[in-house]
Amino acid sequence: MTTTAIRSNSDQAEGGTGQVVAHVRNLIERGALKPGDRLPAERDLATQIGVSRPTIRAGLRTLAAMGVVRSRHGSGTYIPDGPPALNTDALSFLAALHGFTREEMYEARRILEVGAAGLAAERATSEQVATLAEEVASLFASMQDPQVFLVHDINFHRAVASASGNPIVASLVEMVSAMYYESRRETAVRASERDLRDAAEMHRRIYQAIRARDAETARRAMHDHLMQASRHQAQEPQPGHDSFPRRAPSSSSVPPKRRARPHRRQPSN
Amino acid sequence: MTTTAIRSNSDQAEGGTGQVVAHVRNLIERGALKPGDRLPAERDLATQIGVSRPTIRAGLRTLAAMGVVRSRHGSGTYIPDGPPALNTDALSFLAALHGFTREEMYEARRILEVGAAGLAAERATSEQVATLAEEVASLFASMQDPQVFLVHDINFHRAVASASGNPIVASLVEMVSAMYYESRRETAVRASERDLRDAAEMHRRIYQAIRARDAETARRAMHDHLMQASRHQAQEPQPGHDSFPRRAPSSSSVPPKRRARPHRRQPSN
DNA sequence: ACGCGCAAGTGGTATGACCTCTTGGTCGGC
DNA sequence: GCCGACCAAGAGGTCATACCACTTGCGCGT
């Protein structure tokens, strides 16, 4: 019975750069840094913490990649305000690395967004409902341009997530949506106008259920929408495999589906 | 009707460091880099891409923060194998920054893990079921030590997520679990032994449903478990607010719940 | 009073050096 | 002949310094 320790994967408790991350974290937890604030200049931080500027920059870059800070050339390093936002690229990289399938993406979206739709029906403000209405209108208005349609499609789903009132759920949906957009952008042109009309209609139903404060109908509508989208996309002409890594050709016959991912062990350093 | 552009939040198409990230991304998409591989040495990458070593290091640090690569002192920079893993610290930072409430965390967990439990019931391998059984046993065995109990608690939920067979869902659960662990670690000692026994029992029910391949029961059991845990925790002695930022005292009366987060705009640079 | 421009300040990059750690090969002893 | 200790090459980590690019706001000139 192994009592596996829980460790952050970027465990930088020691080392200069981890010192920087920890310092900023302390500032945040002490309330000295709030969203919108500007951090001290790198050269100042260097003298404060007692490390060199390159080390400071390394730590700040780590924080920037996490979405905790944002550097603006010539101006300073700031903590972004607005809703909390994770780095959306991370999931896209993992998708490219591990070859996530469309079905897996839709499955993840279904789990997340069905829940988000239910919450949105219970809590959406009138402004958020208005935003949803606008995006639905944009969907119907862009049925002849799959690329523009896709943008409004994603925007609608992000708006639903935002209307859920739960910033964590909203952040996760943002990540998954960004990954989906990345992988869908190239193939979106293959969607038939009939499919787009269906999709627009289903978005409208989701919107109406949220507006009517009917959580269960909203959940079902979101579920049906994502199921149908997944089915439609599976029927489209051969997907461009070029964006996904191809397995190295092996002498033995390649398994037809996906192979399980064995945990090749790696030294812990 | 704004056609909001969809941009990655770490949009580094230009600039030296973004060049490095893009280069590695190309290597991945071309299949030249697979999980477990080692990247060229920093000094070599520098000459290949045509930038200096600090720039290379900046790009690699960004990738490391995303969980795409992992540097090991004295050995090299590698692409982690094993299941895809996002950086779990990011959510913890956002939690500290924006003061996520426990209710929001449980809500997010409910959405994600109820779905994961359903999938796990449909797909878990016998090995994964065995892992779940072990963790359940560890839970019953550690009821007198809340800290150890918490570790096995989290491990059980991670195992369920892994058994879902969906690596995206598993990654998201990992993130949320890590954040939850961070915020719960300090207050876990307050849990009564009776609550721990209840919790262990509910984990056992989840396990049994998954083992029985009963998806709907697994979903309900997970839902009930997280609901009850949320309720119990709300009843515990005053939670240590010290890890969460306190709002600056304002002259006007503070709204009782949480105020909406206005999007203070910030220059786009 | 208004606007233009310059200068101070800030992040971004480059160079080069040195340190620590890992790793694998080699040499010695058993 | 085998095994262990040592060492050296190579990798990432840090530092110091300089210079470049961009932003911002103050102040000068009109």
DSSP sequence for A52-96: -HHHHHHHHHHHHHHTS-EEETTTEEE---SS----THHHHHHHH
For B10, the closest of A31, A89, A98 (CB atoms) is A89
- Of A114, A94, A173, A67, nearest to B95 (Cα)? A67
The pLDDT value given to residue B255: 43
CA dihedral sign, ordered B198, B199, B200, B203: positive
B88 CB neighbours in chain A (<8 A) are: 8-9
**Quick one: which residue's CA is nearest to C19's C1'?**
B74
- Identify the closest residue of chain A to B62 by CA–CA distance: A65
B54 CB neighbours in chain A (<8 A) are: 54
What is the C-alpha to C-alpha distance for residues A160 and A164, in angstroms, rounded to an integer? 6
Question: Quick one: average pLDDT of A172-197?
Answer: 91
- The tens digit of pLDDT for each residue in A76-131 reads 999 999 899 999 999 999 999 999 999 999 999 999 999 999 999 999 999 999 99
The pLDDT value given to residue B192: 83
Of how many residues is chain A composed?
Answer: 269
The count of other CB atoms within 10 Å of the CB of residue B262 is 9
A201–chain B Cβ distance below 8 A for any pair? no
Which of A206-245 are b and which e, b meaning 16 or more Cβ less than 10 Å from the residue's Cβ? Answer: bbbbbbeebbebbbbbbbebbeebbebbeeeeebeeeebb
Lowest mean pLDDT among A40-44, A99-103, B261-265: B261-265
Q: What percent of chain B has pLDDT over 70?
A: 83
Q: Which nucleotide comes closest to A38 if you measure CA to C1'?
A: C10
Question: Quick one: average pLDDT of B72-79?
Answer: 94
What is the C-alpha to C-alpha distance for residues B264 and A83, in angstroms, rounded to an integer? 10
pLDDT over 70 at A2, yes or no: no
What is the C-alpha to C-alpha distance for residues B102 and B110, in angstroms, rounded to an integer? 12
The amino acid at B140? F
The count of other CB atoms within 10 Å of the CB of residue B144 is 9
Helix axes A89-98, A167-184, angle to 10 degrees: 50
User: Which stretch of DSSP H or E encloses residue A255?
Assistant: none
Nearest C-alpha of chain B: how many angstroms from A164?
11
* Average pLDDT in chain B: 86
What is the C-alpha to C-alpha distance for residues B11 and B116, in angstroms, rounded to an integer? 32
What is the C-alpha to C-alpha distance for residues B180 and B188, in angstroms, rounded to an integer? 11
- B51 within 8 A of B42, measured Cβ to Cβ: no
- Banded model confidence at residue B263, pLDDT cuts 50, 70, 90: low
**Quick one: which residue's CA is nearest to D13's C1'?**
B73
Residue A255 neighbours by CB under 8 Å, 6+ apart: none
Residue B116 neighbours by CB under 8 Å, 6+ apart: A111, B160, B161, B163, B164, B166, B169, B170, B173, B222
Nearest C-alpha of chain A: how many angstroms from B243?
6
User: Gap from A72 CA to C6 C1', in Å?
Assistant: 22
What is the C-alpha to C-alpha distance for residues A165 and A161, in angstroms, rounded to an integer? 8
State whether A66 and B87 contact (CB < 8 Å).
Answer: yes
Is the shortest CB-to-strand distance from B43 to strand D under 7 Å?
yes
Task: Give the predicted TM-score (pTM) of the model.
Answer: 0.86
Query: Is B22 exposed, middle or buried, given 0-12, 13-18 or 19+ CB atoms closer than 10 A?
Result: middle
The pLDDT value given to residue A193: 86
Please tell me whether residue B78 adopts helix, strand or coil conformation. Answer: strand
pLDDT over 90 at A260, yes or no: no
Which of A154-175 are b and which e, b meaning 16 or more Cβ less than 10 Å from the residue's Cβ? Answer: bbbbbbbbbbbbbbbbbbbbbb
User: What letter would DSSP give residue A143?
Assistant: T
